[in-house]
Structure formats: C-alpha cells, structure tokens
Structure 1
Amino acid sequence: MAVAELCLFLLGTESPSVGKYLEPIIKVIKASGLKYHVCLMGTVVEGSVDEILELVKRCHETILNTGVKRVVINLKIDDRVDKPLTIEGKMGV
C-alpha cells in the first residue's frame, strides 16, 4: 500500500476562489473507494500505486471539464515494501 499527497493548482479561473472547481474533484476521490484525508493544502490518499495514478488521471480529466484553463498537479507518492504504510501512520494520528 502506498500513501500519496495530491495537490491541484488551478490557473485560468474567473476568480481567485477555487472551491467550486474542487467540489467535483472531492466527489471523484470519494467515488474511488480509496481511503483519503482532505488537508489544508491538498489531499492524502492510500492505495496501490496503480490506483493512485488512475485517481490522478480521473481528477485531471474532471478538473479540465469544469472550465479551468490550466491545471498544475503536484503528486508525491511514498511506497515502501519493508513495512505497511497508512495515512494515520504518516500523519501521526
């Protein structure tokens, strides 16, 4: 299991406020079935690397369908084989 942090930076919106554009992304993340935690500056997800990359692809497609002209995606993946990784373990919860 891997833990990843996903951050989407939206450019080319009509306003500096981007909440309305991110609502569909949260729906995509919820629908993925992956364990997730929305943080102040991004979202942490837990799953296989393939599941995480597929989720990022769906988020990318979804955000462009909202009318955003440009998106920059920052993705960090932590994948270990020597011990299990969890969101709780990474966040110290």
Structure 2
Amino acid sequence: MAVAELCIFHLGTGSPSVGEYLKPVIKVIEESGLKYQLCPMGTVVEGSIDEILELVKKCHEAILKAGAKRVVISLRIDDRTDKELTIEGKVKL
C-alpha cells in the first residue's frame, strides 16, 4: 500500500477560481473507492501504485472535461515495502 499526495489545478481559463474545475475531480476521487483526505493544498490518497496512477489519469481527464485548457499536476508517492503505510500512520508521532 502506498500513500500519495495529489495536487491538480487548471491554467488558461481566464479565471483564478478553482472550485468549478475541481468539483468533477473530487467526484472522481470519491468514486474511486480509495481512502482519501482532502487538504487545503491537495488530496492525500491511499492505495496501490496502479490504483493511484489510474486515479491521477481519471482526475486529469475530469479537469479537462470541465473546461481547463492547461493542467498542472504535482504527485508525490511514498511506497514502502518493509511495513504498511497509511494516511494516519504518516502523521502519527
């Protein structure tokens, strides 16, 4: 299991507002079945590498369908093989 942080936003729409473009992206994340946590500057998800990469692809498609002319995606993945990773475990002291 891996934990990933995904930040996706649009450019080239003539508006600095992001809500209209991110609503369909959040819907894709909710429907993915993956455990996730929305954060002020991105979303953290938990899943296999394949699940996470497939989710990123679907999020990319969703924001383009929402009218974005240009998309910027930042993705950080933490994947350990020596022990289980969870969202909660990453912030537990």
TM-score for both structures, normalised by structure 1: 0.95
Shift of 1:92: 3.0
Shift of 1:33: 0.1
Q: Which runs of 5+ in 1 are unaligned?
A: none
* Counterpart in the other structure of 2:78: 78
SS of 1:85 mapped into structure 2: coil
**Deviating 4+ runs (over 4 angstroms):** none
Matches within 5 A, 1:4-19: 4-19=4-19
Q: What is the CA deviation profile of residues 45-65 of structure 1, one whole-angstrom value per residue up to 9, with x for unaligned ones?
A: 000000000000000011111
Distance in 2 (alpha carbons) for counterparts of 1:20 and 1:64: 12
Matches within 5 A, 1:1-93: 1-92=1-92
Q: What is the CA deviation profile of residues 63-93 of structure 1, one whole-angstrom value per residue up to 9, with x for unaligned ones?
A: 1111110001000000001011000111338
Contact 2:6 2:74 in 1 (8 A): yes
TM-score for both structures, normalised by structure 2: 0.95
Aligned residues: 93
Letter paired with 2:79:
D
